[in-house]
Copies of this chain bind each other. A is one copy, B any other.
């Protein structure tokens, strides 16, 4: 196992005042000169290489918005996440933090346009199809109104909120560029991505179609460039959707956008397998199905699909 940072660029900042601070209580005063070169827009990735490798290529995990690679590790209620699952199945697994998330760090003011957005505790509860829509969240756990039959580990929702990180709305190109740098470094590979990770996966695969051997898009919230759909025609793609898409029409809109994108890939000669989990008897999944109580059942479904792709798995 190990880790690295990849990609990014240098920026130069000038014309700012020099200040003096104490970096630790009682420490000596030190100058802070904010002018100079900065390394910005790198991504972070941690990898685990199983002794008994069965995947022919590495598997890259890309998290969703407002989260980090931690969302693929232990679940908020303490069960194994997808990272452990896929490593145990014999995949070299690379778990990333996108640009400006987690261990990737974030850049000084003015490098990213706009201000970061932060997640309240209310927002994902009501928006990720955990609670029954607007008004379902309460700071009092006893007064929350979860969706009936929810597979989310509801008792651990407060702990889940510790995973939230801010994000900027202006960094999509920078995130994609760093992920392309990651692909150039460790691929050919398979991308397994969640939510916002879909945007980056499809775009990065469009930039490096020869290096991406399969994409598993778990409730992707964004997609590639429609006019470049043909670039994906030789890449097997699996898209997985959970339950309760009728609760909030934004999710239907996002899924419809996906269907249009998959259609464009199909028209260009490719194919996308779409699994709506309720249609195969798996019910109750929130948007956070990577950590729902049946998260390993869904990982198993993905594993079977991957193992069925030619020459990806021994």
Task: Decide yes or no whether A3 CB sits under 8 A from chain B.
Answer: yes
B25 touches A199 (CB 8 A): yes
Min CB distance A44 to B, Å, is 6
Task: Decide yes or no whether A166 CB sits under 8 A from chain B.
Answer: yes
Q: Chain B residue with minimal CB distance to A19?
A: B117
Interface residues on A, range: 35 or more
B117 touches A5 (CB 8 A): no
Q: Chain B residue with minimal CB distance to A69?
A: B103
Q: Given A39-B121, A165-B103, A166-B106, do A70 and B32 touch, yes or no (CB 8 Å)?
A: no
A residues near B (Cβ < 8 Å) are 1-6, 8, 10, 13, 21-28, 30, 32-39, 42, 44, 46, 48, 65, 68-70, 73-74, 78, 80-81, 84, 97, 102-103, 105-108, 117-123, 127, 139, 158-159, 161-166, 169, 172, 196, 199, 221-223, 249-250, 253-254, 257
Question: Which of B34, B48, B108, B162 is close to A5, meaning CB atoms less than 8 Å apart?
Answer: B162
Cα distance, A103 to B66, chains bound together (Å): 11
B21 touches A127 (CB 8 A): no
- 12 A–B contacts from the bound complex (CB under 8 Å): A23-B65, A23-B221, A24-B65, A24-B196, A30-B127, A35-B120, A36-B123, A37-B139, A38-B120, A103-B103, A106-B166, A108-B118
A39 touches B158 (CB 8 A): yes
Q: Chain B residue with minimal CB distance to A198?
A: B24
Q: Chain B residue with minimal CB distance to A203?
A: B25
Question: Which of B10, B48, B97 is close to A103, meaning CB atoms less than 8 Å apart?
Answer: B97
Min CB distance A131 to B, Å, is 13
Q: Chain B residue with minimal CB distance to A167?
A: B23
A161 touches B36 (CB 8 A): no
